[in-house]
Amino acid sequence: MPNAGPSVSGVQLIQAYAESSFAADMSGSLASFVSIPFQEGTATVDLVQEMHDPMHAVQHHHDYREEILGKKSCTIQFTIPLSPTGTLAGDATAALQGALGLLLSTFMGGEDLGTGSTASGVWSSAKSGDVGNGAGFEKGSAVGWVNTAGALECRPLANKATATLTTKLAFSATPADEDTIYSCATYYLTQDPDTSLNFAVRGQESDSDWLLMGCQLDSAALDLSFDGIPTLQLTFKGVNWLHGDDASGTFSDIAPVTYTNTSPISGHAGRLMVRTTATALFTAGVTVDANSVAFEPQLSYAAVPSPSGTSGVLRWRLSRNNGPSITGSFGTYFADQRWHDHRTNKDDLMVLYQVGTTTADGAVLIEAPCVQVTNAQEADASGIDGVNVEWKGRLDASVVTATTDLHLSPFRIHIF
């Protein structure tokens, strides 16, 4: 039966590293672990050691049996800003993986790090045109362009034919010759993610050093409130843990670290865009004046049992959902019956939410490429008539000749 093990409440530092094999001790590469810029006070770590009663008879009234050590397990929870890296993938510049990207690529499964370019001639339309070098772009990923007002507009890509890009939703205007066309880091769902993490955790005390192994997602929750910084609350579960003294690496005294490739932004500036998947024009009504936005990943990992695994676990396997892998909702102000009509007509909609609107700060584009409205209810929005819209996502049907997980993913996070 599970028994309580050490609990690390005063967490001061969390670092992560992708395992070369499941639940392997990677602390020999401790200098290469990535420091996680978690929100102070949100981190908790539970280290469990099972204990089993051998159940043999005792002869003295007050005697008890010495219990048997069983398998170990662990959980770690923290909140991290949903933030750009601080380096946009402009002309001949590659997108970077930050701490957020390491975590996303682990539990979503897919990562595409693009390289930007420039427009080669005036684009033929606001949604299609050539770039000088198309090698750094992939359909299913996304592109960015700065309009004449200085605002960064981010759009998912429906197609790439050599150096010709076509977006799923047009820009507000036509890019000019030599305008920068930004690429990004795209994180997408794959059918069988097979990566796990080591977490090195340091507590307040000098010897409070712990290594968590074989860690994969237990739950993920996005907070996209417009006040403050958007965040991602994550819980990972693991199959083994060690005290720092028992790990292969050397846990030296804790010291201040630099959080690289992370540049948090405020959630107040952004844009919610909702459009039928068959329409690529950026017209009135595409932008939704929202009072709330939610994307809710429905991802669940199950242990693959094996006596030759670690703590009886061979690896983690993404469970097949009986429902959608992504659901969501948004609240807006009542203007007409459009959302009720979308539900009645079973329209395929694309939902895009861009946080951040300048190249100085960068942006994050959250994409659900094909959703169905499942509920639309009138609601009070702080004394204003409103409507709450709920939706469920399906595979992307807008990418041209979709064949890969990148093309088909029902949920993507693009980091600019």
List pLDDT tens digits, range 156-191: 999 999 999 999 999 999 999 999 999 999 999 999
For residue 27, report the phi and psi dihedrals to the nearest 5 degrees: -70, -10
Vertex 44 angle, CA 364 and 105, to 5°: 35
Provide the strand spans (E) within 311-393. Answer: 313-318, 326-333, 349-358, 362-381, 384-393
Q: What is the pLDDT at residue 9?
A: 63
Cα separation, 94 vs 74, whole angstroms:
36
Q: What is the pLDDT at residue 3?
A: 62
Cα separation, 88 vs 85, whole angstroms:
8
Q: What is the pLDDT at residue 124?
A: 97
Single-letter amino acid, residue 52: H
How, if at all, do strands 164-167 and 128-130 pair? antiparallel
Q: Are 408 and 398 in contact (CB under 8 A)?
A: no
Cα separation, 74 vs 58, whole angstroms:
33
Cα separation, 33 vs 275, whole angstroms:
41
Q: Are 367 and 272 in contact (CB under 8 A)?
A: no
Cα separation, 85 vs 397, whole angstroms:
29
How, if at all, do strands 384-393 and 362-381 pair? antiparallel
The Cα-based distances of 263 to 90, 232, 285, 356, 360 in angstroms read 17, 14, 31, 11, 10
Order of all β-strands in the sheet with 142-146? 128-130, 164-167, 152-161, 142-146
List pLDDT tens digits, range 234-261: 999 999 999 999 999 999 989 999 999 9
Can you give the pTM of this predicted structure? 0.95
Please compute, for residue 135, the number of CA atoms within 13 A of its CA located in the half-sphere on the CB side.
5
Cα separation, 316 vs 216, whole angstroms:
7
Other residues' Cβ atoms within 10 Å of the Cβ of residue 303:
18
Contacts of residue 239, defined as CB under 8 A and 6 or more positions apart, other chains included, come to 23, 71, 72, 73, 74, 213, 214, 303, 309, 310, 311, 313
Contacts of residue 97, defined as CB under 8 A and 6 or more positions apart, other chains included, come to 85, 105, 111, 113, 185, 261
Cα separation, 162 vs 176, whole angstroms:
19
Residues of the chain with pLDDT under 70: 1-9
Q: Are 353 and 329 in contact (CB under 8 A)?
A: no
Q: What is the pLDDT at residue 206?
A: 82
Q: Nearest to residue 10, comparing CAs of 197, 235, 210? A: 210
Helix, strand, coil shares, percent, the chain, to 5: 10, 50, 45
Cα separation, 360 vs 356, whole angstroms:
9
Cα separation, 416 vs 402, whole angstroms:
23
In the chain, domain spans: 2-83+193-246
For residue 343, report the phi and psi dihedrals to the nearest 5 degrees: -65, -45
What Rg value do the Cα atoms of the chain yield, rounded? 24
3-state per-residue secondary structure call for 30-98: HHHCEECCCCCCCCEEEEEEEEECCCCCCCCCCCCCCCEEEEEEEEEEEEEECCCCCCCECECCECCCC
Q: Are 188 and 108 in contact (CB under 8 A)?
A: yes
